[in-house]
Amino acid sequence: MQDQLRLDDRWVLLGGVRYDQASTDNHNRTAGTTQRADDNQLSWSGGVMYLGRQGINPYLSYTQSFEPQTSVNDDGRLYDPLEGEQWEAGVKFAPPGWDGYVTAAAFDLEQRNSLVTSPDGGRQEQSGKQTSRGVELEGVGYLTDELQLTAAYTYTDATNEQGQRKSLIPRHQASVWMDYGFHEGALQGLKLGGGVRHVGESVYGDMTVPDYTLFDAMARYAFADHWRVQLNVNNLTDKEYVASCDYWCYYGESRSVIGSVRYQW
């Protein structure tokens, strides 16, 4: 259940509650055993935002999460459900007369019963508390009637229960994307886009995984009122890189070319 309401035309309030109930059976056909778990959880969420007169809108939100697990540990017992909660505070700025917005947010996320990879054998183990704290910045706006710019940056400080930096998660991530749409002439309906993604270094124990930068491109054409064809190319230069390490190391995705056709009623 969720309800959103506005007070005095300035305050936006959001409140919600969710109930989950899950039954899990894990059958080990070799040992002839069955592990069963019946999990349930009541999760709350809420938020408040003030709509400022100059387009400055501060907000605060809180969310709880719950996720049952279907795998088992080395003893054949089902893992406990993952539980978490997140606080987020920020501001959304939409200046009057400008077709765009800027957001800034600080977040504090805590997850309990997290699954981590053991350093000795690559097995999944259930540990205690994992935390992620950081900030997110994003801006979207039209520089001209045809040219749109989107830029984002995220800083994440993720640590385990011992205060050590978590593997797989880089501290710095940034991206810039630009779209140019043709509204007149023979190229009307065509939109071209391109961007760059930078992912900072991550760690696994004493090992550092280098940062990397990737380029993407897009072409989209809308025609006959309802049809649209699109071509996306990710990792345009087909760069070979190691994305992360967590006992094993993983190569990142090579160049991918995806075409799509869409019809909208």
> pLDDT for 61-83, tens place per residue?
999 999 888 877 777 788 888 99
Instruction: Report the distance separating Cα 148 and Cα 161, nearest Å.
Output: 42
Would residue 65 count as lying in a domain?
no
pTM of the shown model: 0.86
Residue 115 burial by CB count (10 A; 0-12/13-18/19+): exposed, middle or buried? Answer: middle
Q: HSE (CB half, 13 Å, CA atoms) of 140?
A: 4
Whether residue 3 is contained in a domain is answered as no
64/111 Cα distance (integer angstroms)? 10
At 116-161, the pLDDT tens digits run: 777 666 677 777 789 999 999 999 999 999 999 999 999 999 998 8
Determine the residue type at 101. Answer: Y
What residues contact 254, with CB distance under 8 A and at least 6 apart? 235, 238, 240
Whether 48 maps to a domain, the answer reads no
Residues 6+ apart with CB under 8 A from 40: 19, 20, 21, 22
Q: What is the rounded end-to-end Cα distance, in angstroms, of the chain? A: 30
- Domain presence at residue 252: yes
Domain of residue 195: give its range: 54-60+74-263
Question: How many folded domains does the chain comprise?
Answer: 1
Per-residue pLDDT of 182-216, as tens digits, reads 998 889 999 999 999 999 999 988 899 999 999 99
Structure tokens at 141: 């706006």
**Helix (H), strand (E) at residue 87:** strand 82-93
Instruction: Specify if 23 maps to a domain.
Output: no
Q: Collapsing DSSP states into helix, strand and coil, what is residue 94?
A: coil
Indicate whether 83 belongs to any domain.
yes
What was the pLDDT predicted at 122? 62
Q: Is 110 part of any domain?
A: yes
Q: What is the CATH number of the domain that holds 88?
A: 2.40.170.20
Cα–Cα distances in Å, from 72 out to 75, 117, 160, 215? 8, 14, 21, 40
Whether 25 is in a domain gets the answer no
3 state SS of 187? helix
